[in-house]
Structure 1
Amino acid sequence: MKKTLSVLLTLTLALILALPVCGADFPAASGGVSEIQKYGNLVLDIAAEKLTGSGYAYGDVLAVTVDGKEYEAPFCTNYSDVNTGELVLRDNDGTLILAINMGDFASTNGVAVKNKAEDGTVTWTVSGGRELKDIAVSIAMKEQGGYRDQYLIHQLVRTDKRSDYASDQIFANFRAIPFGSLGKNALFRSSSPVNNEIGRAAYADAFAKENHIRTVLNLANSTEEIQGYFAEEGFNSPYYKSLYEAGGVKALGLGVDFTAADFKSGLADGLRFLAANEGPYLVHCNEGKDRAGFVSALLSCFMGAAYEQVVDDYMTTYENYYHLERGSEQYEAVKNSNIVSILSTITGAKAAELSKTDLSAAALAYMKNIGLTDAECAALRANLAKDYVTAEVPAEVPAETPATPAAPAEKPAETPAVPAEQPAAAPAGTYTVAPGDCLWTIARKAYGNGQKWEKIFEANRDEIRDPAMIQIGQVLTLPAA
C-alpha cells in the first residue's frame, strides 16, 4: 500500500512539474530605451519581431518592467487601441513604443523630466542623473489574450458617407423593436435625429416623421445642447424640432457608465416620461449604439423578449455601422464585451446564465431598484404594449413639415435595396422551426433582414396566436419577400 502511494505521489509530482508555468512558453525580452519622444513615449530598442516571433500576439497583456517597476500594458498596434489615459505597448511598424494614450509616460512615471525651449523644442533629462542608455526594460507575458476582445473592438472602422450603406434606414440605424409583448410600432431606436455630427440627423428625422413618433428619449444631450443644434447652420430636422417644442422630447444627457448613480437616476426620469406619455416612442443617443443599446435592451427584456432577440437587435447596429459578419471573431468580441455585459448589469446574472434568466422579471427588478414605483412600471408596460398602427401625426406638429428632409450632399441618386451580401428576395416556401428560433431569426435566415418577421407572422396567423410563441417542429409558410 505504501509503495502504491509512493508511486502515485511520484507520478503526480512529475505531472505537476511537466505543466507549463504561466508565461513559460513566452520567453521574456530585455533591452533599453532608444528615445523619449516629444510627448513622453518611450521608444524601446527591443524589436517587435522578438515578441511576435516568440508567439506573442496583439491583445495579450504584458508585464513591462522599466527600472525595476512593473507596468501592465496590452500589446497593440495603435495608441487609440486603448482608452484615453491607459497604458499601451504599441508595435509601430516593428518598433515598440511604451506610452499612455493621450498622456505622458515619462513624466507621469518619473522616468525623465521634460525641458521645453522657447522655440518649442523638447529635450529630456533622465531622472537620477543618469543617461538614456541606463534605463533598463524587460517584457514578459502577463495574460495571454487578456485584452483580445477589446483590441478587436478598437479595430472597427465605419464611415459616415451615405453611399457606403445599402439604405437610408441602415444609414440612420433606425428600426422598430418588435419583441415580446411590445405593441406594433410602439418602440423605435435610431441614431440622433438632431445632432448631425455623424451626418445622419436628417435621415433619422425623416423616419421619425414617417413612423409618427410622438415621444422621444434623447439619452445623449441636455436641453441647451439640443437648442444649440437648432441654431446651427444647415439644421434640417424640422419634425424633431416640432416634437421638442410640443414637449415630446426628454433631454437626459446621460453618460456611458451604466453603473453610475447619475445614469440610473437620469434613466429613471426618462422611463417615467415614457410612462406618462403615449407612443410611438423613439430612443436615441448619438450613434444609437451604446446608451440607446442599453435602454432598448432594458425595455425589450421588460416586455418579454428572448435573450437571442435582445442580442440580435443590439448587434444589428454593429452590422449596420461596421458590416460585422455573424460568427466572426470581431462579432463575438463585441457581443461578449457589450450586450452580454449590459444584460449582466441589468439582471445581475453571469454571462453563462443569461439565456436561462427570466429577463422580464430581472428588468422589472432593475427598474424598481433605480427608483420606479409599481404604478409607474405598470403604466410603462401598458403604454409599450399598445398598438400604434393607426397613430396620426400629433396635432401640434405643423402640417407643412416636409415629409422628407433635403438630402445631404453625398446622398446618391439611387440606393440598393439591401446589402449586396444579402438576398433581395426569398422564394415562397416553408420553414420548420428549430431549437432557438424566433420569427426574427427566421426572417434573417429567409430574407437577410430580421425586420421582415411580420411578413412571416401575417402569413401564418392561423398557426401563430402570439408571435413570441412558436413551437419547435412547427412548419411555417414563408411568403415571397
Structure 2
Amino acid sequence: MKKLNKVILFLLVSILLVFPSCTTTKTMDGEPMEKASVVYSEVNASIVAADKYGNLETDLSTTTLMDAGYEYGDMVNISVGDDVYSAPIVSTYSDVDVGNFLIRIKEDKVYFAINYGNCLKKTGAVEGTKITISMKEKGSYLLEYKTRHLTKSEERADYKSDEVFANFRTIKTGDLDAGVVYRSCNPALGDARAPYAQELAEKAGVKTIVNLADNEESLKENFDTITWYKDMYNNNHVILLDMDVDYSSQDFGEKLAKGFIFISKNKGPYLIHCNEGKDRAGFASVIIEALMNSTLEEIKSDYMMSYANYYGVEEGSMQYDYIADTPYNMLKTIAGDVEVVDENLPLIATNYLKQIGLTDEDIMSLKNNLK
C-alpha cells in the first residue's frame, strides 16, 4: 500500500512539473487569474457595395462580428484573395491616420475602408468579392482608439481659467520668449470658446494671425460675432490656409510654408491657430520650437498642455505617455537620416522648411522675428 501511495505521489508531482500552465497566477490586485489562450474564429463576408470614395460595404452585421468576440480596438487581418491587410476595428475614418486601413462599424453594418484613400482601388475588391476577417492582436489598438475619442466640455464653468478653456498660451521654449508667439483654439469659429480666444488674443496685442483652418467662406460665416478678428482680417493681418490634418502631405507643407513666410514678413506678436489649437497648430508649433533650439522635453510639455487643458490628461498616466510620443514621431517623420536628438532639432526644422519651400533668407527672417 505504501508503495502504491509513493507511485501516486510521484505521478502527481510529474504532472505538475509537466503542465505548469495549469496553475493560476495572481493579478496586480492579488486576485487569482487563469492563464488561458483564447482562439477567435475567422469571420467570412462579401463586398456588397462601394461608395464613390471607394469605401467597401460588406454583408457582415455588427452583431455577427461582435458575437464572434471582436471589439473596438482589436487589430485584425483582412484577407482579400491572396493579399492580407491589417486594420483596427473602429467607429469612424479619423480613428486611424490618413492612408491607413480600417474596419468601420456603423450601426449594424461593417465597412472595409481607408481614411482619405480608395479601398476599392487599393485592394481590387468589388461587389461579390469574398473577404475573411481574423484576429491579429486582441485590444492592441484600444488605447489609440480611446485617445481619439477623448471628450471635452463646452462649458466655461468646467475649466479653471479663460486660458485653459480657449487652449490659449504663449510658447516659451528654447530661444522663444514669452509674448512673441501664441497658440489657441479658433477665435473665429463661432463656438463657445471663440469669444474667449478672441479677447485673449486682443489683450495680448497680437498683430499677425496664421489661421490654419479656415478659408474665406468659412471665416465670413461668423463675421458678425468676431469684430476684432474681422478688423484684423480686413487690414491684412490674417492669412487663411485652409489646411487638412495630414502633415506628411505635399499640400499641407506648401500651405504651412505660406504661413511661416507670412510670419517672416510681418510683425509680432503672432497667433497660430487651427480649430482646437491642438493638431495642425501642434505641428506648426513643433517646427517653430525645434527651429528655435527647444529641447524634446520642452516641445513635449507644450504639446501635451492642449490635452491637459481640454481633457484633463495627467502626466504619468498611460494615456499621457502614449500621446506624448507624438511630437517626437512628427520630427522623426520629417528628419530623414538625421537623428532626432536635442542638438539636431534646429537642423531638422531648417531642412524641413527648405523642403516645403522657404529660402535661406525666409528662414533667417523667420528666426529674427521669433526672437
Task: Give the shorter-chain TM-score range.
Answer: 0.7 to 0.9
Q: 1:61 to 1:199 in 2, by over 3 A?
A: same
Residue 184 (structure 1) shift: 3.4
How far apart, CA to CA, are the structure 1 residues paired with 2:75 and 2:114? 20
Q: How does 1:289-300 map to 2 (within 5 A)?
A: 289-300=278-289
Answer yes or no: is 1:342 the counterpart of 2:357.
Answer: no
1:277-320 superposed Cα distances (whole Å, 9 cap, x missing partner): 11001001111111111111111111111111111111111111
Aligned amino acid, residue 29 of structure 1: S
Residue 27 (structure 1) shift: 2.0
- What fraction of aligned residue pairs are identical, expressed as a percent? 33
Corresponding residue for 1:369? 355
Specify which of 313, 318, 333 is matched with residue 322 of structure 2. 333
Corresponding residue for 2:307? 318
Q: Secondary structure at the match of 2:267?
A: coil
Corresponding residue for 1:213? 206
Residue 79 (structure 1) shift: 4.7
Specify which of 152, 162, 166 is matched with residue 168 of structure 1. 162
Unaligned runs of 5+ in 1: 1-23, 113-126, 128-134, 386-481
Residue 32 (structure 1) shift: 6.1
Q: Secondary structure at the match of 1:226?
A: helix
Q: Secondary structure at the match of 1:345?
A: helix
Residue 199 (structure 1) shift: 2.2
How far apart, CA to CA, are the structure 1 residues paired with 2:243 and 2:188? 16
Q: Is the 8 A contact 1:293 1:314 kept in 2?
A: yes
| Aligned alpha-carbon RMSD (Å) | 3.7
Q: Answer with 141-150 or 235-244: which moved more.
A: 141-150
Corresponding residue for 2:141? 147
* TM-score when normalising by structure 2: 0.74
Residue 160 (structure 1) shift: 2.0
Q: Is the 8 A contact 2:40 2:68 kept in 1?
A: no
1:427-468 superposed Cα distances (whole Å, 9 cap, x missing partner): xxxxxxxxxxxxxxxxxxxxxxxxxxxxxxxxxxxxxxxxxx
Aligned amino acid, residue 51 of structure 1: G
Q: Is the 8 A contact 2:58 2:109 kept in 1?
A: no
How far apart, CA to CA, are the structure 1 residues paired with 2:187 and 2:165? 12
Q: Is the 8 A contact 1:149 1:334 kept in 2?
A: no
Q: 1:277 to 1:366 in 2, by over 3 A?
A: same
Q: How does 1:36-435 map to 2 (within 5 A)?
A: 42-43=60-61, 48=66, 51=69, 58-64=72-78, 72-76=86-90, 78-79=91-92, 82=95, 86-88=101-103, 98-100=110-112, 110=126, 139-143=133-137, 147-196=141-190, 198-230=191-223, 235-336=224-325, 338-348=326-336, 354-385=340-371
Q: Secondary structure at the match of 1:141?
A: strand
Aligned amino acid, residue 361 of structure 1: L
Aligned amino acid, residue 235 of structure 2: A
Alignment length, in residue pairs? 321
How far apart, CA to CA, are the structure 1 residues paired with 2:158 and 2:142? 28
Residue 74 (structure 1) shift: 1.8
* TM-score when normalising by structure 1: 0.58
Q: Secondary structure at the match of 1:51?
A: coil
Residue 258 (structure 1) shift: 1.3
Residue 170 (structure 1) shift: 0.7
1:146-196 superposed Cα distances (whole Å, 9 cap, x missing partner): 534532322311232222222111111100001111233111000111122
How far apart, CA to CA, are the structure 2 residues paired with 1:220 and 1:278? 21
Q: 1:172 to 1:31 in 2, by over 3 A?
A: closer
Q: 1:165 to 1:80 in 2, by over 3 A?
A: farther
Q: 1:140 to 1:169 in 2, by over 3 A?
A: same
Corresponding residue for 1:411? none
Q: 1:165 to 1:32 in 2, by over 3 A?
A: same
Q: 1:256 to 1:44 in 2, by over 3 A?
A: closer
Residue 244 (structure 1) shift: 1.3
Q: Secondary structure at the match of 1:156?
A: coil
Q: Secondary structure at the match of 1:372?
A: coil
Q: 1:185 to 1:150 in 2, by over 3 A?
A: same
How far apart, CA to CA, are the structure 1 residues paired with 2:105 and 2:216? 41
Q: 1:86 to 1:209 in 2, by over 3 A?
A: same
Q: Is the 8 A contact 1:349 1:357 kept in 2?
A: no
How far apart, CA to CA, are the structure 2 residues paired with 1:219 and 1:81? 19
Aligned amino acid, residue 369 of structure 2: N
